[in-house]
Amino acid sequence: MYLLPKPQKIIMNAGFLKEKSVYVKEFEGDERILKALKKLPCSEQGTELEIKIEGTGSEGYTLVIEESKITIIAAGPAGAFYAIQTLRQILDNEEVPCLLIEDEPGFAYRGFYHDVTRGKVPKVETIKALIDTMAYYKMNSLQLYIEHTFPFKELGNHIEKTGYLTPEEIKELDDYCYENFIEFIPSIATFGHLYELLEREEYRELREIEDFEEDQIFWRERMAHHTIDPTNEKSIEVIKSLLDQFIPLFRTDKFNICCDETFDLKNGKHKDQDTGRLYIDFVKKIIVHLESKGKKVMMWADILLQHPETIKELPGDVEFLNWKYSAEPAEEQFATFGNLDCVQIVCPGTSSWSRLVEGIHVGSKNILKLGEYGYKYHAKGMLNTNWGDYGNPCSLELAMHGLVLGASKSWNAETDKDKYFTESINYLLYKNKEAVTYLTLLDEAHSKLSWNMLAYCYSNCIYENKFEIKYPAREDLLSAQSTCKNIVEKLSNVEWECDEYRQEIMIAAEGIMVMAELFGKLAGYEIERYSDTEQWLKKYRIKWVEKNKESELCEIEKMFRTLENQ
């Protein structure tokens, strides 16, 4: 029997459930529970399902399956909701044994962080589907990263270029999250990463970098710049305005102010001053404003780790989002916050950014290791990040292995990427027993060639060879090409029960093959062409616009067409 996250305690009893459909006995209560029950197989002739909710707060539950009755006993509505998710998975098995499950989460906070600012803005339906998946695997928090993909008045009509989420859409998503026991937490750039705002003529005086001239592709420039000048009185007023426009759209009392990667403080007009002091004083101004609005602050921890002496200047209820994305992340930075007795949330990543498919090898190691650090240093929980660097080329479907692994580790500390997990995710999510094998092969192929390096080739076409290009070895390109060609051939004439995953794997495989063959062409290798760049771009566009707004798809298309014509 496959269950994710794996429950804390399962006792198998004799016998099997006679009827896998259910009917609910006399339940009156939280409407969210009633909606969740509709996702179970229901019939008047089904097995009696009794739900008892004995409190208001806890997420724990007990689930008892007998031959002719199912009972859920929960300490609160959330616990009942999660028991229903477990029951959904159990009833998806061919035979349902009689059993007793006693279950509760290891981490109180179990979140997913999705980038909707770096090239790809999802449609509301796409984010709702993400919320459905999160709820199924018992996650309880969602954040969407926004720099300029919201109609802040300061951005004017600039947002038409990049795509955006409207206030009405944000409210709709907040309601949908609430229905699924997910806290929707706002997250916007308020210090670094304000490139599009500070490139506007009326706000350029607020740039920490005074004499800025773009000399690289904008994907790179956006990520490296701009930090707002923390000494200019107008800066905090602009940030307050952004916050005030966003706050009313969410029911939560939390707000993620980000404040990460303020690179320009070390290179800008105040580089000779104490950057730690500049940083913390501006952050405190943001926090004071949010506290006046009744909000509690979350923020990335990377800059504070460079100036640990300033951490204790911040209010005790600030939640520090502590991130590291390598396969073997060092323990020290997580121990720092643990030893300071601060509220810490560990933040691994899916390793899907700058790729067409998530990096299962690196991402899995990273997620599991940060989970271990989180439990060791008494973190509040885990926020699993899914960034969109360099145009956000990866589909959400091809980041779900990382999402489910993070959800599982957040719930049960004993989770590992073992045979049980792989078989379970193949059965429950992909509904194909070979799915993870294909994803692993794609990851290995993609790891032989870099999306970023291809983007640097593109940048050199525009900015006269600023980057030194290190082309992949010919044998690596041939290996990646062969792997992807075989995947496409094997998957072309089959259909999966959840066929969207197969389709996205094929598109990613074709895209990696295009990359390999373009690299070969640029490097001057003799490599036979099997792919067609224009045909692949057409397929890629179809899938993109099915699930996302147009956003900045054209920038990815420009890159491939420019390189094809070199």
Q: Tokens at residue 188, please?
A: 């916007």
Nearest to 544 by CA among 557, 527, 531: 557
pLDDT band at 464 (very low <50, low <70, confident <90, very high): confident
Cis peptide before 5 (omega within 30 of 0): yes
**pLDDT above 80 for 465:** no
Mean pLDDT of the 88-98 span: 94
Mean pLDDT of the 33-44 span: 94
Q: What is the pLDDT of residue 57?
A: 80
Cis peptide before 226 (omega within 30 of 0): yes
In terms of Cβ atoms closer than 10 Å to its own Cβ (0-12, 13-18, 19+), residue 558 is middle
For the stretch 244-262, pLDDT in tens is 999 999 999 999 999 999 9
Mean pLDDT of the 356-377 span: 98
**pLDDT above 90 for 83:** yes
Q: What is the pLDDT of residue 25?
A: 78
pLDDT band at 29 (very low <50, low <70, confident <90, very high): confident
Give the position of tokens 């906070």. 109
pLDDT band at 26 (very low <50, low <70, confident <90, very high): confident
**pLDDT above 90 for 392:** yes
Q: What is the pLDDT of residue 509?
A: 98
Share of the chain above pLDDT 90, in %: 95
Mean pLDDT of the 389-408 span: 98
Residue 15, phi-psi category: left (phi > 0), alpha (psi -120 to 50), beta (remainder): left
Domains of the chain: 9-103 (3.30.379.10), 109-417 (3.20.20.80), 437-564 (no CATH)
Mean pLDDT of the 174-202 span: 97
pLDDT band at 466 (very low <50, low <70, confident <90, very high): confident
b/e sequence 44-67, b meaning 16+ C-beta within 10 Å: eebbebebebeeeeebbbbbbbbe
Q: What is the pLDDT of residue 158?
A: 87
Average pLDDT, the chain: 96
Q: What is the pLDDT of residue 28?
A: 81
Q: What is the pLDDT of residue 93?
A: 87
